Structure 1
């Protein structure tokens, strides 16, 4: 097994926290099991890094991802381990995926969704904590190629139109995550 494949295989064995629709923990499962049909509702997080002028950093998910590969998504996302604080897990994944540390994150809401990936037959059924970090566009980013195929900055206000025009180019949760953030203003 190649190192990238080994990394993704190891991530599929990590534990996630199963939750009720109200976000109450009631068990655990591996990432693999939680994302198989019909999908088990579990805790997740999505991070949007925003600049003062309203741009957000998007990542195009790596080809080796087991769910929605090569689709544009929010800056970073993942799953806290059972009992792990969401902000701590999000900071860990920012460092792992993008090489970014010391970005203060604020939780701004939750997005509950279910989406089936027709390409991999996997399911995302997540109680998704949405976090925002305010950063400079000159932020030094060092993406892990096993996680991220590409990065780009885009005006958050234009992103909704892009998603509507080409929904299959984007992760299905991105529109909802963006709505949580933009509905705050």
Structure 2
């Protein structure tokens, strides 16, 4: 399916039950009073069972320079959710994904960045595998690391301020078996 330029700049607005209620331009939705919208997070694992974490580019509007899960994004209006995850993996990390599955379909969070900008997302969490090494897009990611899940859980527990708030919450919810 061909997606229009307008769709590429849009996010899907949802109600508290997760039903689509409209769309909004992405560059106008993230404000001091961000409406609830659809997003996704993904944790990518390699053949050694290590999880990929990334450090957000300093050019990012929210949480610049903070370590986070492998990648995040927003599905476009009319886009299949799995296709959205695969699209974003290519855009941010140059990765093809294998064994993509949703592990927390109803994850939702609201967090406020130091700048005052709010994230307010219904954000299904995915797990995927890959056999490739990332080729990062510097507009999105400034560095990456493969780590053991137990080390990631300890770090997020001991220094939550060093990580994105959504990742800290997701790790608490998922436990060691999924992320």
Please tell me the TM-score bracket, short chain as reference.
0.7 to 0.9
Is 1:40 matched with 2:35? yes
Give the gaps of 5 or more residues in structure 1. Answer: 1-9
- Asked whether the 8 Å contact 1:111–1:176 carries over to 2, the reply is no
- Counterpart of 1:117? 113
1: CA distance between counterparts of 2:21 and 2:111?
21
The TM-score with structure 1 as length reference comes to: 0.84
Q: Secondary structure at the match of 1:91?
A: helix
TM-score of the two chains, using structure 2 as the length reference: 0.87
Post-superposition shift, 1:23?
1.2
Determine whether 1:61 maps to 2:47.
Answer: no
Quick check: 1:158 aligned with 2:151? Answer: yes
Moved more, 94-103 or 172-181: 172-181
Mapping 1:158-177, distance limit 5 Å: 158-177=151-170
Return 5+ residue gaps in structure 2 as ranges. none
Given that residues 108 and 132 in structure 1 are in contact (C-alpha distance below 8 angstroms), is that contact kept between their aligned partners in structure 2?
Answer: yes
Deviation at 1:155, TM superposition (A): 1.2
Secondary structure of the structure 1 residue equivalent to 2:38: strand
Q: Distance in 1 between matches of 2:77 and 2:171?
A: 26
Alignment equivalent of 1:146, drawn from 134, 139, 159: 139
Alignment counterpart, residue 107 of structure 1, candidates 102, 108, 116: 102
The Cα shift of 1:77 comes to: 0.5
SS of residue matched to 1:173: helix
CA–CA separation in structure 1 for the residues paired with 2:130 and 2:10 = 30
CA distance in 1, matches of 2:149, 2:170: 11
* Correspondence for 2:82 among 79, 84, 87: 87
Q: What's the Cα RMSD here?
A: 2.0
